[in-house]
Structure 1
Amino acid sequence: MLLKNLELFLLIVEKGGLSAAGRELGLSPASVSERLAQLESFYGASLLNRTTRAINLTDEGRLLVDGARRLLAEADELHSSIRLGTQRISGPIRLSAPEDLGRQYIEPILAQFMQEYPQVSIDLNLSDGYVDPVSQGIDFAVRFGALADSTLHARLIGENRRVVCASPLYLARHGTPRHPEDLTRHECLVMRFGINIAREWTFKLHGKTHRILVSGRRVANDGALVRQWCLAGHGLCLKSVWDVRADLDAGRLVEVLKDYDLGGTALNIVYPPSRVQPRRVRLLIERIAAQLTAEGTP
């Protein structure tokens, strides 16, 4: 019963409330409160500060979050080893990836992995925004950019550069920009990251930096949609070359301003260092790392 209550506690933290966790498991609010009280009684400490609007972890609650995840992962690994045999791979895997990269690269790897291991289930969170593996209970995340959270471990997959591109149709109608300043007279497709809109595009050439404020009628928080707009001829976009490499190779998109450096970012797999990863998670991380590395740095 302790393990079940720990699972419920982690779900309360993930969902942000007792009622939401209860709905997920089909439990009444009274049952959720009773089981949380049992857990707090067992540890002799209050785990959550509850108000009418929100819940917050106590110091003891924060300590239990990490410990509970480790304990549940170890219990799951032990259960699988004894019940199914050490060579049987089964159970859920939760991961996160950027929109375009997830659809183009990660999903085919997952499909192959699930075909090989039919007892594995996948919960894939596609998001171009920041995803915290710890607070959201995610086993690992595939992520562009520097590792802002120093408490996470990172496995470098490859480097990435950014490009400005457009469809041949758009360039035929509106001309090809030759200098970053030309972008101010073009329709640009802009990404939103949370409340921030990435309207400033930075270019470097021969030690000189050009910061250009672009504008356009289309803004989205979905990188795949921005790519779709670009393919349809609605404007120029600033994208990871991983996301548009196939389009560039096929001639569906054309890179412009090639002489300028738009900066590069690392492509990493990140995961909480304190979490014991079940064998199924370790195998999938190895598979993704190997296949994306084999793709090479675009």
Structure 2
Amino acid sequence: MLDGLKLFLTILEKGSLSAAGRELGLSPASVSERLAALEAHYGVTLLTRTTRSLSLTEEGRTLADGARRLLAESEELESRIRLGVEKLSGPVRLSAPVDLGHHRIVPLIDRFLAAHPAVSVDLDLTDGFVDLVSQGIDFAVRYGALPDSGLKARPLGENRRVVCASPAYVAAHGAPAHPDDLPTHDCIVMRFGLHTDRVWTFQVNGQPRAVTVRGRRVANNGDLVRQWCLAGHGLCRKSVWDVQEDLDAGRLVEVLPDFAGERSALQIVYAGTRVQPRRVRALMDLMASELSGDMGASAPKQPAQG
């Protein structure tokens, strides 16, 4: 039964029966037979299949949530029996933004893996939306508010976003003196899924001011936005964490420092219905401790308003 549930979740994660078969070393016919046996056991249809896609039925959604809990508990039990209660083992899957992942998350993962040789990590670095449940991801580190009612969050603090430029760009085009100057500048814009981040918010005389920016470069990858900015192609708006080293080294300069930009929450999010194995909880605890401490240490002073 556990093998059948694992196959079912792999089908959901990979998006097709054939891809799940390749992952598990099974033929397409064998995958179809095992899925049919699982549906026969429960007496329901779990997946609606077409030639191009598959989707969960309501019964399939219920089974997927329960299967993840059962498999997590089974792995936890086996780990405790085989390795003892003190040793962590097994896989952890997580997602994080690209820049934050490279600069902050990866060093923490390296420390965690060095301390727990029986644990493996599958890290998905993306600046787009990730469906944790359907993709079988244990947790994600995310900026912004939590829109998913089925997810829980561990707040890490607030993050400051800054507008930056390279010294070469400032030398060639000047720096904006006021947020209202931004439409005359070439701005490098992030795209988050279908949303393009062209409206930048500031505080002007204590009041929020939204400015629509323009630019010839749009990307869904935060590291590419940073690289374009470093190369002098325009202004960018980034998390201060992502560009702090560049600011400290003089590779980038902050513009409009007297107009406090918007702040966004940073948090760890995870499915509230899923039982988290100890290895997952341990990595979450490490990240919560380290990232919360970093955010508190780097909190900026309140800038003057103009």
TM-score by length of 1: 0.96
User: What is the match of residue 193 of structure 1?
Assistant: 192
Q: Alignment length, in residue pairs? A: 297
Q: Which residue of 2 aligns with 1:296?
A: 295
| Separation in 1, partners of 2:101, 2:219 | 17
Distance 2:58 2:208 in 1: 46
Q: Deviations over 1:33-84 (max 9, x none)?
A: 0010111122121111112222121111110010000000000000000011
The more displaced of 43-52 and 4-13 is 43-52
CA drift of 1:3 comes to 0.6
State the 1:220 CA deviation: 0.9
1:31 and 1:246 map into 2 onto residues whose CA distance is 52
Q: Does structure 1 residue 218 correspond to structure 2 residue 217?
A: yes
* Residue in 1 that maps onto 2:127: 128
Alpha-carbon distance in structure 2 between the residues aligned to 1:88 and 1:201: 47
1:99 aligns with 2:98: yes
Q: What is the rounded CA distance, in whole Å, between the counterparts of 2:277 and 2:208 in structure 1? A: 46
Question: In the alignment, is residue 170 of structure 1 matched against residue 162 of structure 2?
Answer: no
Q: Which position in structure 2 is the counterpart of 1:113? A: 112
Q: Tell me, what secondary structure is at the counterpart of 1:204?
A: strand
Give the unaligned 5+ runs of structure 1: none
**Deviation of 1:207 (Å):** 4.3
Query: Where in structure 2 are there 5+ consecutive unaligned residues?
Result: 299-306
Quote the Cα distance in structure 2 between the aligned partners of 1:217 and 1:58. 43
Counterpart code for 2:268: I
Distance 2:62 2:295 in 1: 40
C-alpha distance in 2, partners of 1:242/1:151? 28
- Distance in 2 (CA, whole Å) between partners of 1:201 and 1:225 is 19
Letter in 2 for 1:108: P
Contact preservation (8 Å) 2:156, 2:295? no
Distance 1:153 1:209 in 2: 29
1:173 Cα deviation (Å)?
1.6
Following superposition, the deviation at residue 210 of structure 1 comes to 3.2
Q: Does 1:55 align with 2:44?
A: no
Give, in whole Å, the separation in 1 of the partners of 2:198 and 2:265. 22
Identity %: 64
Amino acid at match of 1:170: Y
Match of 1:204 in 2: 203
Deviations 1:190-229 (A, max 9, x none): 1112233222222231244433222222211100111111
| Residue 149 (structure 2) pairs with residue 145 (structure 1) | no
1:26 maps to which residue? 25
The offset of 1:13, in angstroms, is 1.2
Cα-to-partner distance string for 1:232-283 (whole Å, 9 max, x where unaligned): 2221101111211222222221111112232111100011111111111111
* CA RMSD of superposed structures (Å): 1.3
Residues 113 and 120 in structure 2, CA contact (< 8 A), matched pair in contact too: yes
228-237 vs 67-76, greater mean Cα deviation: 228-237
User: Counterpart in 2 of 1:4?
Assistant: 3
The whole-number CA distance in structure 1 between the counterparts of 2:42 and 2:63 is 10
Structure 1, 59-68 or 160-169: larger mean CA deviation: 160-169
Structure-2 separation of matches of 1:52 and 1:176: 54
The two structures have a TM-score, normalised by structure 2, of 0.93
How far apart in 1 are the matches of 2:132 and 2:51? 27
Q: Which residue of 2 aligns with 1:179?
A: 178
